[in-house]
Structure 1
Amino acid sequence: MTQINQQKLRETLVNLEKYAKGQDCGDFFVRTAKKAELDHAGQIIKAEKPARTPKQYKFTETIELQVGLKNYDPKKDPRFNAALVLPNLPKTNTRILVLADANDVNRCQAEKIEYVPFDTLASTYDKTKPGPIKRWAKKYDIILCSKSQIKNIVKVLGPTLTKINRQPLPLEPTDNLKNKVDEMLRTIRIQFKKVLGLNWPVGQVSDKPEDVQRNVMMAINTLVDNLKKGWQNIKVVYIHSTMGPSKRIF
């Protein structure tokens, strides 16, 4: 059973949208001015920092969910890594690349999806020189590879993609390419490795609050299902936007 106050979550999302538009949010995001620091002689060491005011930026801010865990030992307790397909797009700047065989080249062209013909990789990159491969692959958030060539990745590019967490995901010849890419764009990974602080993108400040709210609740409930003691392992939950303030919702 969820322990997130749905009304508070909704109010936070509404006010984050207002804040991103430069609109007054009243005292919803309270941040008082920090006083100047003085030395023993009364001289200013650090100038007074004014209270934060709303400001509109020239890009669409992403809304993130931040979770702090407690009573969870990274060395002893089980780690997990679950792919979660959200109902709504969590962010808009995700880049996807397809390493395509001849058939998938045609499909990518038809759907206007970025691709590289798999048979050009060996002549473009030297698997014994990981530097150029890293710089190229890190431009993309997700890499798909035609199922017919997935077994040849290491042979052609070496282990570099795995080491930088860009291991290609298989693209089946029967997959609807457009639907597959849409699913990848809506996928986040609910994972725990070494740190007790976790975060995920869950929407844009321009999205409808109810759409972001659905993403938030699906992400937090999936995390809780994977934790050893469920909600007892959740210490704190915050919502914030890229350039905006944070608001504690749990």
Structure 2
Amino acid sequence: MADVAIEELVKKLLEESPQRKFSESVDLAINLKNLDLNQPKNRVDEEIVLPNGLGKELKVGVFAKGEVALQAKQAGAAYVFDDADIQEMKDDKARAKSVADECDFFIAETQFMATIGKTIGTVLGPRGKMPVPLLPGKSIGEMIQSKQSAVRVRSKDKMTFHVTVGRRDMPSEQLAQNIDAVISRVERALVKGKHNIKSIYVTTTMGKSERVM
């Protein structure tokens, strides 16, 4: 169930923001306080599965071979890479950067993790897109579906950061549920919980903003 107050804020935001000719995203701007973000332990770096997804299909890249690679393709992976692809991207950083920017998330069979770290980790790491390992017994199809509904929340060393929680054409109740999920997770990730949050605003890409807290 969505927080009623948040849902009302979202309704107001959508009603008062002009309609655009493209599908706008709905984003949260989160402002922190009383934290030394030069200390990595104080930073927020969370992957959050939104209860209602983002209102668009995210692109998931998978490093795999054999049966797992076939299952990944069937499950809707945007790209499936093997050993040869990794070596090619090692030698062609432009391609590696293009792939890293195009895909929202990556998954890799555990046997590929070390090689990826040594070859294209310098491209994926700074973007916060190092692959999530596919552990034995886990379903690649289920992981892809989960990733397609997830967002990565990263503060890095900034007291203000942004995260997309959906699209403007989604029902306000679904957007409110997504917002509540993000706020709850961020609070749990902070040393002093909500006391480390200065303010949170919800906004559309080119519209006005409303203060959530």
- Normalised TM-score (structure 1): 0.72
1:1-21 Cα shifts (integer Å, max 9, x gaps): xxxxx5442222113333xxx
More helix by share: 2
Call closer, same or farther: CA 1:73–1:176 in 2, change over 3 Å. same
For structure 2, the residue ranges without an aligned partner over 5 or more in a row are none
**RMSD (CA atoms):** 2.6
Which structure 2 residues correspond to residues 148-159 of structure 1 after superposition, within 5 A? 148-154=111-117, 157=120, 159=122
The answer to whether the Cα contact below 8 Å between 1:99 and 1:118 also exists between their aligned partners in 2 is yes
1:87 aligns with 2:87: no
Which of 1 and 2 has higher RCO (CA within 8 Å, sep 6+)? Answer: 2
Identity %: 25
Distance 1:155 1:222 in 2: 31
The answer to whether the Cα contact below 8 Å between 1:68 and 1:196 also exists between their aligned partners in 2 is yes
1:166 aligns with 2:166: no
Match of 1:244 in 2: 207
1:120 aligns with 2:88: no
- Alpha-carbon distance, 1:129 to partner: 4.9
One of 205, 226, 242 as aligned partner of 2:189: 226
Give secondary structure in 1 for the equivalent of 2:180: helix
Distance 1:61 1:103 in 2: 38
Match of 2:70 in 1: 106
1:98-129 Cα shifts (integer Å, max 9, x gaps): 1221212221333342223403315633x255
- Alpha-carbon distance, 1:173 to partner: 5.5
Match of 1:39 in 2: none
1:184 aligns with 2:147: yes
Q: How many residues align?
A: 210
AA partner of residue 215 (structure 1):
N
Distance 1:227 1:160 in 2: 28
Q: Which one has the largest radius of gyration?
A: 1
Call closer, same or farther: CA 1:93–1:16 in 2, change over 3 Å. farther
Distance 2:120 2:153 in 1: 28
Match of 1:193 in 2: 156
- Alpha-carbon distance, 1:172 to partner: 3.8
For structure 1, the residue ranges without an aligned partner over 5 or more in a row are 1-5, 19-24, 26-53
Give secondary structure in 1 for the equivalent of 2:96: helix
Match of 1:50 in 2: none
Call closer, same or farther: CA 1:198–1:162 in 2, change over 3 Å. closer
